Chain A
Amino acid sequence: MSLKKLRITVAVVVITLITLLFLDFTGMAQEWFGWLAKVQFLPALLAMHIGVVAGLIILTLLFGRLYCSVICPLGIMQDIFGWLGKKQKRYRYGYSPAVRWLRYSMLVIMVILMVAGFGGVAALIAPYSSFGRIVQNLLSPVWAWCNNLLAGWAAEHDSYMFYDTEIWIRNWSVFGVAVATVVILAVLAWRNGRTYCNTICPVGTVLGFFSRFSFLAPVIDTSKCNSCGLCARNCKAACINSKVHQIDYSRCVTCFDCLDSCHKGAISYGRRKKEVAVVPVTDGASVDKSRRSFLTVTGMVTAAAMVKAADKTVDGGLAVIEDKKIPERSNRIVPPGAKGIKHLSNHCTACQLCVAACPNGVLRPSTAIDSFMQPYSSYERGYCRPECTRCSDVCPAGAIKPVSVEEKSSIQIGHACWVKENCIPLTDGVECGNCARHCPTGAIQMVPSDASDPDSVKIPVVNTEKCIGCGACENLCPARPFSAIYVEGHVNHRII
């Protein structure tokens, strides 16, 4: 098997598994190959997984940018687009000089943004998280739809193998970003191969710095080379200057395409004889693709008619249930394990893996500028269930640290606030207590609304010391569209 075929095989397996990681909502994929997300460069760096980062650098020093060929899912995705492009027209690439000023300024901008706390914006050009957003926004609805077809079929056959899952777009601006990313990358890759990886991608730039010194690399045997230029026309990284028999190793993604393309067998993968001079900067023709418009969009507000509790008529039928609306929270809620808003923003690369993994419809990406595309919690569709630690299990960037079920029950991520005007016992005059009944920590008690009359209708009181902010009360509160009890997030999480 040629090295190229080996590379393709590994790449196909990796991209399939990582895609599945984002599609699977049952948590099974995570158990088997969740590690694939954790060996991604940027998440590992954010999670301070020094071992992983060092390993990837050593890999690059040994073999060149293999990472970009077989580990980075966005790189593999571009190769797929490029492959389609090559089907349309062979030998479509050519050598172009490096655009070093753009590469390094992108890297610098990214670092500045991340240090300044705009990790979400920085994530717009991060490779792994871009791939995550594309799959989560564009492919997972299709996946879920197919699953629901199967579930329908299973239901007809009395099988419990498949179950229905809800399909919803968490945030339309992030959806827009995903569409824009995939369109831009598809066009670039179709026409010019790895343009993004060698001009925009900060990980590509960092690894390119190391790959210049790699132990193994494609080398041209000038005694065999007849300067036909086939290798250059086949090089998706545009890094082979066949005229002078030079390869820009900072841009070479070690795809081995040139090895197979050379009829003379002049290119081989092996030890480099001598240091190759880096081609100087000449060209700045590339467009600045990083500029993308992001709209500050209103959240999804579902229009719903104002309906109170329906009349009791004793003839069957189902009362209309109004959709819940999201209350205005002064602090956003972030899941247990995130430690607090700041920790999450500093580490999150906005890959949407947690959003894809959340089985309760709680996590969704933010639209706010300082946390753009990073996850936050809301409870109008479900609540942060006591037995679930999926988001903390999957997070590759250490933004949501792993927590156990036991730890989770003592992490206070917010506290519940009561809204008297909405409380059903007071508005409808009926017994309720659904919040107290479902509070996993017993933080809610029901007390008579009139202190002097023990028989008066009971209202909830919250012991904020015991409340962990899971949102069971908010989600299960019968008041609609706004719950009579809602959770206010904490800037820093506490252990109770």
Chain B
Amino acid sequence: MKDKNTISRRSFLTRLGVGAAAVSAAVVAGCDSKKNPVTGDNTTSGEIPAGKMTYRTNPKTGEQVSILGYGCMRWPDLSGGVGRSDADLDQETINELVDYAIAHGVNYFDTSPAYCRGRSERATGIALSRHPRESYFIATKLSNFAPQTWSREASMAMYNNSFKELQTPYIDYMLLHAVGGGEDAMDTFRKRYIDNGMLDFLMEEREKGKIRNLGFSYHGDIAIFDYLLANHDKYKWDFVQIQMNYLDWNHAKEINEANTNAEYLYDELDKREIPVVIMEPLLGGRLSNLPDHIVARLKQQEPERSVASWAFRFAGTYPRVLTVLSGMTYMEHLQDNLLSYSPLKPLSEDEKQFLFDTSSLIVQYPTVPCNDCKYCMPCPYGIDIPAILLHYNKCVNQGNIPESSQQENYRQARQAFLVGYDRSVPKLRQASHCIGCNQCAPHCPQKIRIPEELHRIDRYVEQLKQNTI
């Protein structure tokens, strides 16, 4: 702890270069201000206020939870990317990030046995175990998505392994992971948690104190959400994790018929006084990686704050929110989010309305609502699904999706799309190889009809290549 400042300073400097490469990353805080944590000289903890973090109270335990929660799904790896490649996780950097976060008041760490290709819990455990156990809360999940983990034995093994990996005798926040997924959501839910007795078991564990709070994270089929809340008296949910941001607040259904607006989800939980944990406040970076004129619009309002800060302030403004999760890969993300929440400056009604107006503009852009969570992966036939969708979105935002060969910038846009496509996705992993087996789609928390989207993008690529647009 004593070397905190020097460590974080060094780590911060080493991260400087990498920051430029962050693709889906939050935009770095303000660009010219003296408070700027990146360009200035006196940039370390002195500038990012320590001890100013906003906290929310868990009504059941009375504990103070930091409004910024650390999402451990996107830990950095040694290849310089996000830890879902083959490269090993960058434990040294993870330790530095965790140290810095704790030093600045973050005390909620959210992981899962599935994250970072199954390596997140261990890395998180190593980093956290270097701090006193009472100084942080651990959230993890029973991530038995794959049919081969549906049996009681396999689910128990996964549950028990979490304690080992996280080096803890108790879990502060335990979640049923991503209920509402699967082709038949109710059927999948039964097989994962009811038929094998796992939900009953988890409730017993809560009685014994091995689980301090029990909740679920929800995506997809609204029937499951309604069912679980209707049975709140039986299950006594201590918290629920939902996807909420200013785009999904009332545009989720517009983006995809199968989704539910976050406003409904929040209100349902608020009514029952259930604390809400927010995931995807930034939609995997999509709400910071916006078309230029929307960036300008947000910046004009708050020139010294990042585009991402709007999304975090939005999520934090709602009082039932316990914590807002952010998967921070780079030190810049962490520092920017700390700035947004130390302390939180809630949005005024006018500002909220401004964001809702902004989201109406964003929703007009035909991006694919992929947050790069990679639950669709691996594709059994080797397609790199998120890479294809992200490339497409990038081109949408940069205006590189020409609609006609008569268009003024057609040649440059075509070149940018096609050359960029080959750069982002190896040829053998491109959409032309998608056979449409549909094994991916049921796993998508955003309910994207993946094969349809890939085939659509592939047809578009063919049009560009053949100049028949």
A-to-B contact residues, CB < 8 Å: 155, 160, 163-164, 309-321, 382, 385-387, 424, 428, 430-434, 437-438, 476, 478
| Neighbouring B residues of A430 by C-beta, 8 Å | 435, 437-439
Known: A310-B378, A387-B467. A315 touches B435 (CB 8 A): no
- Shortest CB-to-CB span from A313 to chain B, Å, is 5
Closest beta carbon of chain B to A441's beta carbon, Å: 13
Binding site for A on B (CB under 8 A): 84, 86, 114-118, 145-146, 374-382, 384, 412, 415-416, 419-420, 422-423, 427-429, 432-440, 443, 455, 465-467
Task: Judge whether A319 and B381 touch: CB under 8 Å.
Answer: yes
Q: Nearest CB to that of A472 among chain B residues?
A: B432
Whether the pair B377, A316 counts as a contact (CB closer than 8 A) is: yes
Query: Is B443 within 8 A of A314, CB to CB?
Result: yes
B276 CB to nearest A CB, Å: 25
16 pairs across A/B with beta carbons < 8 Å? Answer: A160-B415, A160-B419, A163-B422, A310-B378, A311-B380, A312-B439, A313-B378, A315-B114, A315-B115, A315-B374, A316-B116, A387-B467, A434-B432, A434-B436, A437-B455, A478-B435
A476's contact among B115, B420, B432, B438, by CB below 8 Å, is which? B432
Q: Is the CB of B419 within 8 A of A315?
A: no
The interface residues of chain B lying within 8 Å CB-to-CB of A321 are: 382, 428-429
| Complex contact A312–B378 (CB within 8 A) | yes
Out of A382, A385, A428, A431, which one reaches B436, CB within 8 Å? A431
Q: CB distance A478 to B375 under 8 Å?
A: no
Known: A310-B382, A318-B377, A431-B437. 16 other contacts (CB 8 A): A160-B415, A163-B423, A309-B380, A313-B146, A314-B114, A314-B376, A316-B84, A319-B378, A321-B382, A321-B428, A382-B427, A387-B465, A424-B435, A431-B436, A478-B381, A478-B435
Residues of A within 8 A of B440 (CB): 312
Instruction: Return the chain B residue nearest A438 by Cβ.
Output: B432
CB distance from A484 to the nearest CB of B (A): 11
Residues of A within 8 A of B465 (CB): 385, 387
CB closest chain-B residue, reference A307: B382
Are A320 and B435 within 8 A (Cβ)? no
Give the residue of B118, B381, B423 whose beta carbon is less than 8 angstroms from that of A315.
Answer: B118
Q: Is the CB of A317 within 8 A of B416?
A: no
- Given the interface contacts A155-B423, A309-B380, does A432 sit within 8 Å of B437 by beta carbon? yes
* Closest chain B residue, CB of each to CB of A361: B427
Question: Which residue from A315, A318, A386, A434 sits with its C-beta under 8 Å from B434?
Answer: A434
User: In this complex, what residue of B is CB-closest to A437?
Assistant: B455
A-B contact count (CB 8 A): 100
CB of B74 to closest CB in A, whole Å: 11
CA A438 to CA B419, docked complex, whole Å: 21
Q: How far is the CA of A382 from the CA of B427 in the complex (A)?
A: 10
B380:A310 contact, CB within 8 angstroms? yes
> In whole Å, how far is A311's beta carbon from the nearest beta carbon of chain B?
7
Residues of B within 8 A of A320 (CB): 382
Which 6 residue pairs spanning A and B have beta carbons closest together?
A430-B437, A316-B374, A309-B380, A321-B382, A432-B435, A316-B84
Q: Are A319 and B118 in contact (CB under 8 A)?
A: no
Q: How far, in whole Å, are A428 and B118 apart by their CA atoms in the complex? A: 27
- Residues in A whose Cβ lies below 8 Å from that of B116: 316
Which residue of chain A is the closest to B119 with respect to CB atoms?
A: A315
The residue on A at minimum CB distance from B147 is A312
Q: Is the CB of A319 within 8 A of B379?
A: yes
- Nearest CB in chain A: distance from B368 CB, A: 18
Pairwise interchain contact B433-A478, C-beta atoms closer than 8 A: yes
Query: Closest approach, in angstroms, between the C-beta of A216 and any C-beta of chain B?
Result: 49
A73 to B384, CA, bound (A): 46
Bound complex: CA A319 to CA B419 (Å) = 24
Known contacts A160-B415, A321-B429, A438-B432; A314 and B381 CB within 8 A of each other: no
Q: Is the CB of A319 within 8 A of B380?
A: yes
B416–A433 touching, CB < 8 Å: no
Which residues of A have CB within 8 Å of B382? 310, 318-321
**Across-interface contacts of B433 in A (CB, < 8 A):** 434, 476, 478
Of all chain A residues, which has the CB nearest B181? Answer: A314
Cα of A315 to Cα of B375 in the assembled complex, Å:
6
User: Bound state CA distance, A377 and B380, in angstroms?
Assistant: 29
Chain B CB within 10 A, most for which of A309, A311, A313: A313
Closest residue on chain A to residue B438 by CB atoms: A431
Interface pair B378/A318, CB less than 8 Å apart: yes
Q: Are B378 and A309 in contact (CB-based, < 8 A)?
A: no
Of B86, B380, B438, which is in contact with the most chain A CB atoms at under 10 Å from its CB?
Answer: B380
How far is the CB of B162 from the nearest CB of chain A, in Å? 15
CB nearest to A382 among chain B residues: B427
A319 to B376, CA, bound (A): 12
Determine how close the nearest CB of chain A comes to the CB of B155; give it in whole angstroms: 14
State A476–B430 Cα separation when bound (angstroms).
Answer: 10
Q: Is the CB of B381 within 8 A of A309?
A: yes
Within the complex, what minimum Cβ distance (angstroms) separates A359 from chain B? 11
**Closest Cβ–Cβ distance, residue A430 to chain B (whole Å):** 4
Contact A314 B145 (CB under 8 A): yes
Determine if A316 and B117 form an interchain contact, defined as CB atoms under 8 angstroms apart: yes
Give the chain B neighbours of A163 by CB distance below 8 A.
419, 422-423
Assembly CA distance A309 to B377 (angstroms): 13
- Give A318 to B433 CA distance when docked, in angstroms: 14
- C-alpha gap A478/B118 in the complex (Å): 28
Chain B positions within 8 Å of A316 at CB level: 84, 116-117, 374, 377-378
List, in ascending order, chain A residues with CB within 8 A of B145's CB. Answer: 314
Taken together as a complex, chains A and B put the C-alpha atoms of A303 and B71 apart, in Å, by 42
Q: If the complex has contacts A160-B419, A430-B435, A476-B432, are A314 and B84 also in contact, measured as CB distance less than 8 A? A: no
- List of A residues within 8 angstroms of B380 by Cβ: 309-312, 319
A403 to chain B, nearest CB (A): 16
Q: How far is the CA of A239 from the CA of B422 in the complex (A)?
A: 56
In the complex, the answer to whether B420 meets A160 with C-beta atoms within 8 Å is yes
Contacts of B422 in A (CB 8 A): 163-164
* In the complex, chain A residues whose CB is within 8 Å of the CB of B434: 434
Query: Is B455's CB under 8 angstroms from A312's CB?
Result: no
B118, B146, B374, B427: which contacts A312 (Cβ < 8 A)? B146
Closest beta carbon of chain A to B187's beta carbon, Å: 17
Give the CA-CA distance A23 to B122 in the complex, in Å: 51
List A contacts of B384 (CB < 8 A): 318
B415 near A317 (CB under 8 angstroms)?
no
| B residues in contact with A160, CB < 8 Å | 412, 415-416, 419-420
- Most chain B CB within a 10 A radius of its CB, from A314, A428, A431: A314
Given A160-B415, A321-B428, answer yes or no on A314-B146 (Cβ-Cβ < 8 Å): yes
**In the bound complex, how far is the Cα of B465 from the Cα of A313, in angstroms?**
34
Q: Considering the chains assembled together, what is the distance between the CA atoms of A428 and B420 in angstroms?
A: 33
In chain B, what residue has the closest Cβ to A310?
B380
CB of A242, distance to nearest CB on chain B (Å): 61
Bound: A148/B201 CA distance, A = 57
- The CA of A233 and the CA of B84, in the complex, are separated in Å by 70
CA distance A118 to B412 in the complex (A): 46
Our pick among A318, A434, A476 for the contact of B429 (Cβ within 8 Å) is A318
- B409 CB → nearest A CB, Å: 12
Nearest CB to that of A381 among chain B residues?
B427
A residues less than 8 Å from B437 (CB atoms):
424, 428, 430-432
Give Cα A411–Cα B65 distance, bound, in whole angstroms. Answer: 70
Chain A residues closer than 8 Å to B381, beta-carbon distance: 309, 319, 478
**Could you say which residues of chain A place their CB within 8 Å of the CB of B432?**
434, 438, 476
Q: How far is the CA of A163 from the CA of B421 in the complex (A)?
A: 10
Contact of B423 among A164, A311, A313, A476 (CB under 8 A): A164
Q: How far is the CA of A89 from the CA of B423 in the complex (A)?
A: 51
- How distant is A393 from chain B, measured CB to nearest CB, in Å? 16
CA distance A319 to B379 in the complex (A): 7
Within 8 Å CB of B428, what residues of A? 321
Residue of A with least CB distance to B459: A437
Complexed CA–CA distance, A94 and B415 (Å):
57
Considering the chains assembled together, what is the distance between the CA atoms of A309 and B438 in angstroms? Answer: 14
- Distance of A278 from chain B, by nearest CB (Å): 59
Task: Report Cα–Cα, A424/B435, bound state, in Å.
Answer: 9
Contacts of B376 in A (CB 8 A): 314
Cα separation A387 to B427 with both chains bound (whole Å): 18
In the bound assembly, the distance between CA atoms of A301 and B257 in angstroms comes to: 49
